[in-house]
C-alpha cells in the first residue's frame, strides 16, 4: 500500500520548486493532489505531469495572500474529493532586498501578506475541514525561520512567524487529531534561487552549507512526505530544518 493511499492533499505554490516536487511525490504515493498556484500555466503543467505518471490531480488558481482564495480552495477541494486530509502551505516569495531602515514599505507588506498571512489563512480554513476526522499540515518556513540574515527583514520576520504560528496551532489541535509541523529548507535549487543569482552569488550561497552544495527540491519533498504521512504520527509542533548543516554552525 502506498504511503498516502486515498488521501486528499492541498499544496500551495505547487506549480514549481519545492511545491511541485512535493505534488509529484504525493501523487506517486497515492494522494489525490490539489495543485494550487497563482500561475495558471505552471499549475496546469504540474497537473499534466502528475497525470502522465498515472496520478490524480486537480488545479485550482489561488492567491495565498487572500483569505477568500484560501477559503474557496478548501471548499472546492472538499466538493471535488469529499475530504481534506493533508495541507502543505508552501507558497512564498523572496521579496526585495534592503536594510531595515531603508526597506520599502510596500515590499514589507507583500512579503508578510504572502509568506506569513498566507499560511495563517491556509490554516484558518484547512483546520475546520479536518476536524471531522484527522489531518496533517506542513508549513514551509526556511532556515531563516531559525536564524537571521542581513537585508531580508521581511522574509526573516515572516519565516520566524511561520515557525511560531505552527507551534501555537499545533498545541491547539494536538488533542483533535490534527498534526501541524514546519520545515526549514536551506537554499534549494529552485527557479526562485537559480534564476535570480549570478554564479558568484550562487557560489557564495553554496559556501554557507557545510555539506558543500545547495539542496534539491526533491530532498525537501521527502521530508514533507514523512511529516504528512502516518509514519510521523507522534510528531507535531516541530520545526525541521533540511539545510545541509547551515543551522549547525
Question: Residue 249: helix, strand or coil by DSSP?
Answer: coil
Among the listed residues 33, 34, 36, the one whose alpha carbon sits nearest the alpha carbon of residue 15: 36
Between CA 170 and CA 47 the distance in angstroms is: 30
Largest CA distance in the chain: 54
* Degrees, nearest 5: CA angle 29-60-74: 80
| CB 153 within 8 Å of CB 103 | yes
Please give the helix or strand (H or E) that residue 12 lies within, else none. Answer: strand 8-12
Q: Which residues are identified as catalytic?
A: 155
Between CA 188 and CA 246 the distance in angstroms is: 12
Amino acid at each position: 500500500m502506498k504511503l498516502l493511499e486515498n488521501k486528499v492533499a492541498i499544496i500551495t505554490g505547487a506549480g514549481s520548486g519545492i511545491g511541485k516536487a512535493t505534488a509529484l511525490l504525493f501523487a506517486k504515493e497515492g494522494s489525490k493532489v490539489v495543485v494550487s498556484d497563482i500561475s495558471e500555466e505552471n499549475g496546469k503543467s504540474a497537473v499534466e505531469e502528475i497525470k502522465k505518471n498515472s496520478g490524480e490531480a486537480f488545479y485550482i488558481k489561488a492567491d495565498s495572500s487572500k483569505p477568500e482564495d484560501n477559503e474557496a480552495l478548501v471548499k472546492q477541494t472538499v466538493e471535488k474529493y469529499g475530504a481534506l486530509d493533508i495541507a502543505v502551505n508552501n507558497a512564498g516569495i523572496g521579496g526585495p532586498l534592503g536594510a531595515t531602515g531603508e526597506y520599502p514599505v510596500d515590499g514589507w507588506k507583500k512579503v508578510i501578506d504572502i509568506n506569513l498571512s498566507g499560511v495563517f489563512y491556509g490554516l484558518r480554513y484547512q483546520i475546520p475541514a479536518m476536524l471531522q476526522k484527522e489531518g496533517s499540515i506542513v508549513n514551509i518556513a526556511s532556515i531563516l525561520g531559525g536564524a537571521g540574515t542581513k537585508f531580508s527583514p521581511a522574509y526573516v520576520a515572516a519565516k520566524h512567524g511561520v515557525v511560531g504560528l505552527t507551534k501555537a496551532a499545533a498545541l491547539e489541535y494536538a488533542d483533535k487529531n490534527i498534526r501541524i509541523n514546519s520545515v526549514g529548507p536551506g537554499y534549494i535549487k529552485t527557479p526562485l534561487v537559480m534564476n535570480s543569482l549570478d554564479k558568484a552569488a550562487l557560489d557564495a550561497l553554496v559556501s554557507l552549507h557545510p555539506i558543500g552544495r545547495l539542496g534539491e527540491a526533491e530532498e525537501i519533498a521527502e521530508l514533507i512526505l514523512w511529516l504528512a504521512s502516518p509514519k510521523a504520527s507522534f510528531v507535531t509542533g516541530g520545526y525541521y530544518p533540511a539545510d545541509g548543516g547551515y543551522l549547525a554552525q
